[in-house]
Amino acid sequence: MSRPIELWYWPTPNGWKISIALEEMGLPYEVKAVNIGAGDQFSPDFQAISPNGRMPAIVDPDGSDGRPLSIFESGAILQYLAVKSGRFYPQEPRGKAEVDQWLFWQVGGLGPMAGQTHHFRQYAPALTADQRHLAYGVRRYTDETNRLYGVLDRRLADREYVAGEYSIADMAIWPWILPPLQGQDLADFPNLKAWHARLGDRPAVVAGRAVGDAWRRNLGAAGKEAEQARKLLFGQRAR
């Protein structure tokens, strides 16, 4: 029996990717909370695992060479877990390329753009008293997220999953589809809407999405605790 994988985690879209994958793959894991609003990402223990100071990260005590292996960056983690489990990642080159391109599309496109949409629509209003400066950022990233939703909707017009069979690409993309927070309406994207609902009904997706739900706080809220959390997340400089 494999020893549990350590999942260094906080309940955000990037964290959900990995908790969903671990549930889907049936790999044993234990959660190590990284409270990003309290600054846990700056701890020496965590940065030894994730030099970029971002979660998620994992430590597999049973690496392929018999030694513990730590991995940061959610796309790299998904690829590693898929290879380890032998699931949700084709072995033949054409199928693997299909999955890789959509996985990289998420980590290089949808995630960063939707993340900026979250920032300007939810958090930035609490960071500045002059709301006029926010209008361009809100419009720019909301429109780009809309464009990316359209890319997915067209892709899903003739298939159930983004890269053939259900794969780590779907697991990477699904947590980032958060229409109300991103100023989107899934009624405008019927293929994406059906795909999102189909994945949302999977028991492993439900279980993975629920990990740490009670920990999450609204960083757009008022109060000293929320203000300090915003400073930690959005006022970071080189250390």
- Same-domain check for residues 108 and 61: no
Domain CATH number, residue 159: 1.20.1050.10
Contacts of 237 (CB under 8 A, 6+ apart): none
Do residues 97 and 197 share a domain? yes
> Does 227 share its domain with 161?
no
Residues 193 and 97 in one domain: yes
pLDDT score of 238 = 53
Please tell me the least confidently modeled range out of 20-34, 101-115, 117-131, 220-234: 220-234
- CATH of residue 72's domain is 3.40.30.10
Residues 81 and 101 placed together within one structural domain of the fold: no
Length of the chain: 239
Domain count, the chain: 2
Tell me: do 24 and 74 sit in the same domain: yes
| C-alpha triplet 59, 64, 68: angle, nearest 5° | 30
Confidence of residue 2 (pLDDT cuts 50, 70, 90): confident
The neighbouring-strand residues paired with 8 are 32, 57
In the prediction, which pLDDT does 129 show? 62
The verdict on residue 174 lying in a domain is yes
Answer whether residue 196 is part of any domain.
yes
What pLDDT does 20 receive? 98
**pLDDT of amino acid 120:** 83
Residues 177 and 223 in one domain: no
Cβ(102)–Cβ(168) under 8 Å? no
With respect to residue 208, please indicate whether it lies within any of the assigned structural domains. no
pLDDT in tens, 115-167: 989 888 877 766 666 667 788 888 999 999 999 999 999 999 999 999 999 99
Between 239 and 86, residue with greater pLDDT: 86
Any domain includes 17:
yes
Residues contacting 142, CB < 8 A, separation 6+: 117, 120, 121, 182, 183, 184
What six digits make up the tokens of 51? 């030099």
Calculate ∠ Cα 35-82-55, nearest 5°: 15
Name the pTM for this structure. Answer: 0.89
Residue 207 lies in a domain: no
236 pLDDT more than 80? no
136 and 196 both lie in a single domain: yes
pLDDT in tens, 30-58: 999 999 888 899 999 999 999 999 999 99
Contacts of range 221-229, beta carbons closer than 8 Å, 24 or more positions apart: 221/126, 222/126, 226/126, 227/126, 229/36, 229/37, 229/38
Look up the domain containing 68 and give its range.
5-87+213-234
Task: Tell the burial category of 92 from Cβ atoms under 10 Å away from its Cβ (0-12, 13-18, 19+).
Answer: exposed
**pLDDT tens track for 163-215:** 999 999 999 999 999 999 999 999 999 999 999 999 999 999 999 999 999 88
Decide if 227 is inside a domain. yes
